[in-house]
Structure 1
């Protein structure tokens, strides 16, 4: 029998119900006092005008996507194309991108309703000893077909925020995949420049060996003429194996450079044996963009990826906050049940159930607050990583600009030193041949010339590497999508409170 609730009873009970509801709301979990601390760095406050004063500035100062072609070596172009075709590091980056995309699919599925269908047959026979003759000893069976519908209403946008966070993380993973290709191409260029430097050292060692052999021949002639003693011959003989050792050391560097390139293109060491001597590589002439650092924010893949991760962390905060509010879930079940399969289509066999449910977290031991606090910390970490990436980018650009400028001057000075050392050696050799100079003068001039040539080769190689590093510092030809560049450069509305 259903009790009859009068209006008077409801009138007296309503205040109690409202009081209970107010008490529940007051006691529910709260996010009060929790918020992230990180603040995105404003790039406009980072000045570099004086540091970059005198650099060649222009409106189109960023490297091209295939910036390495400026070195003018077809073999290098082919090696980079081979490496980009299937290096294991690229496969790993692509796999991480697929993982991120799968998380987007999962977050999207959480926002949509679900519908499932199930069917089956149930049979039951209980013993007479349990239920007696009337109910026991009989077999009964039924067939059923049911549709199950459920939908969690996104009242506060938490599920949408989680989906948007997954999308932002996918953008970051996509940029990381492009950055992996840029890093690989730059690594191949650097290894190729190292191979070219090893060949330069080999040339210097060849020239030193030729000088040493020529000096040894002259010294033996002078000893045969009674002008020099065995001491000068022994000194000259010692220069020959020393030059040969330098040849062997340079050859070892050549071999190591070839195997390193073979690994970078994803092949075995034998691939390196097919790599011919690089042509003489000249430093690339690069032009800096006229607007730094703001123009750099959308051109550096590490900055763009870090910016997307800040966005994703902010959306995760929104998703965590939504868990503090009431949630509404809709559940419906409908189907048919009948003893015989043929009766399933009868109207009398149908059943239905609808169960909307509203839930509100009241006490969870601080689990929700701990989760939100963790998301706040994740956001602060993402902001710190972004700020550090911006600072590192500007530092790298400034360092490489200074390096290019300084190494150019050093190379010019060292070339002058080589010319002077060569002239001094030629003069010492002529005086020694004419009998008016000592062999010690020849040894001193020869050692000075060798050292000067080795230093020049090193500076020339550093010039090439500095231009390569500057290309990397300027983004390495990275070209983000228009929305990525705009998002990475917009910092005004990025803070969460």
Structure 2
């Protein structure tokens, strides 16, 4: 009856405390119209080696090095091992505990404070014991603590994949930037060759008294300006190589050995046909946050169980004697067995405060999950929007490049025939150069957006690849 009363009182003492946030089981954001404007494919989830779509073997090798040598990957793996160890500690609490001990204590007993034949003498007390203890987890406290640890272990495992995705994505973006700078160097060197040719032509026109000294000075000034631009671009190339080497966890000398990229244009983009539904399990950040919600829910169960009696069974068996001669005698045996029950009666509100704290932690985890879900769908929508408008921009820019090149060729021919001024040539050349640079930037942005879309779609993440039961979307338990 006492135990029953304790259980009832324990349940009533926290009945008014519960979480206030709720999980979004679906995408509670408007995205249908945005997604409907994008080409759809039934099988367009990126693979785990999604970067291979760029067709550059060197890039594949560099990412392989980065995923082995980057300190962030090693740190994420260490966090997984730490979470596994904590899970092991909580798992051990469900099993009995067996301890063995032996002691030999030399002691003088007081002649005035000790009764019996040992008063006033030196004695050696020998004692050995074997103890067994087991907590009866009636209220599921230890089981809930284990489930919370398992949830955090799965979250750490998913975070490790998210780390590799972040690093591989950063490698691809830096590699695309490196290729863009190489292409800008090609363009600048082409312009430099044109300027040197124009300078030669201007000098001949000046000798023929068709141009002035001012035209020669302008033509001469354009050459070092272009060389300075090339130097700046070469600096950018080395910085990109340094960035790639750092992502690989290596020194800058490793970056010097990176050859010029040879990325090919990827296939036209599309998205999975079941994107809204499958996004819940296709992004590592979403899945990891969902595991944290589940772990926080189990922490609430632990906090509730603390309101109820704690029951332990203990048994011990051993030997104790003064002097080693009687140590093995059967009369030296000790034996004890019995339950130990503890019940919180007055704790100054500590248990309620702890439960309220766990409820708030659960609400924080839930809202973090909801926000992660919103960020995920907006991340994908941003990439799709940019890709959709980029195609039109590239088409228009190609026409602009063609027009500017035609204008430059026309002006250059007229200048050679003495029908145009050098200023007209310079204006046409600068216009053509600007349009060509813009086209190079747009093509690089297209590759960058393709990489960003693959990252936004989860980079080939699959909960089954992390653990066979590591999909909290399908079996998240109710903890409210």
TM-score (norm 2): 0.94
Tell me the residue number matched to 2:139.
Answer: 156
Paired residue secondary structure (1:362)? coil
Q: Structure 1 stretch 398-407 or stretch 168-177: which is displaced more?
A: 398-407
Distance in structure 1 (CA, Å) of the matches to 2:63 and 2:156: 22
Q: CA deviation at 1:46?
A: 3.6
Q: 2 CA distance for matches of 1:100 and 1:349?
A: 46
**CA deviation string 1:420-450 (max 9, x = no partner):** 1011000001111111112221111011011
Distance 1:28 1:265 in 2: 55
Contact 1:336 1:350 in 2 (8 A): yes
Query: Which of 349, 367, 375 does residue 358 from structure 2 map onto?
Result: 375
For residue 114 of structure 1, the aligned residue among 74, 88, 97 is 97
Mapped contact 1:209–1:243 kept (Cα < 8 A): yes
* Cα distance in 2 for residues equivalent to 1:219 and 1:437: 12
In 1, the alpha carbon distance for the partners of 2:469 and 2:436 equals 46
Q: Is the 8 A contact 1:285 1:467 kept in 2?
A: no
Judge which range, 475-484 or 157-166, deviates more.
Answer: 475-484
- Aligned-residue offset at 1:67: 0.9
1:48 aligned residue: 31
The CA deviation at 1:485 is 8.2
SS at structure 1 position matched to 2:274? coil
C-alpha distance in structure 2 between counterparts of 1:97 and 1:83, whole Å: 19
1 CA distance for matches of 2:197 and 2:470?
66
1:316-355 Cα distance to aligned partner (Å, 9 max, x none): 1011100011111222222111234343333211111223
Match of 2:264 in 1: 281
Bigger mean CA deviation after superposition, 39-48 or 410-419: 39-48
- Map 1:119-130 to 2 at 5 A: 119-126=102-109
1:56 Cα deviation from its structure 2 partner: 2.1
Map of 1:80-95 to 2, 5 A cutoff? 80-95=63-78
**Shift, 1:26, TM fit:** 5.2
Measure the CA separation in 2 of the matches of 1:193 and 1:456: 14
Structure showing greater radius of gyration is 1
Say which SS state the counterpart of residue 481 (structure 1) adopts. helix
How does 1:176-187 map onto structure 2 within 5 Å?
176-187=159-170
Does residue 298 of structure 1 match 2:286?
no
Aligned length in residues: 479
Q: Could you tell me whether the CA contact under 8 Å between 2:158 and 2:284 is conserved in 1?
A: yes
- Against the structure 1 CA distance between its residues 181 and 64, is the aligned structure 2 distance closer, same or farther, given a 3 Å change threshold? same
Shift in Å, 1:281: 3.5
Aligned to 1:331: 314
What is the CA-CA distance between 1:395 and the residue it aligns to? 0.8
User: What SS does the aligned partner of 2:200 have?
Assistant: helix
The change in CA–CA distance for 1:133 and 1:349 in structure 2 (over 3 A counts) is: closer
Contact kept? 1:68, 1:77, Cα under 8 Å: yes
* Alignment of structure 1 residues 16-27 onto 2, 5 Å: none
TM-score, normalising length: structure 1: 0.91
Measured at CA, do residues 299 and 127 of structure 1 come closer, stay the same or move farther in structure 2, by a change above 3 Å? closer
Question: Which of 384-393 and 420-429 deviates more?
Answer: 384-393
Deviations along 1:88-121, one digit per CA (max 9) or x if unpaired, are 1111001111111111011112222211111112
Match of 1:398?
381
Choose which of 433, 438, 441 in structure 2 pairs with 1:455.
438
Any idea what SS the aligned residue of 2:34 has?
A: coil
Alignment partner, residue 344 of structure 2: 361
| Displacement of 1:40 | 0.8
**Shift of residue 234, structure 1, vs aligned partner:** 1.2
Look up the SS of the partner of 2:202 in the other structure: helix
For the structure 1 residues 151 and 136, does the alpha-carbon distance in structure 2 shift closer, same or farther, using more than 3 Å as the test? Answer: closer
Structure 1 residues not aligned, in runs of 5+: 1-16
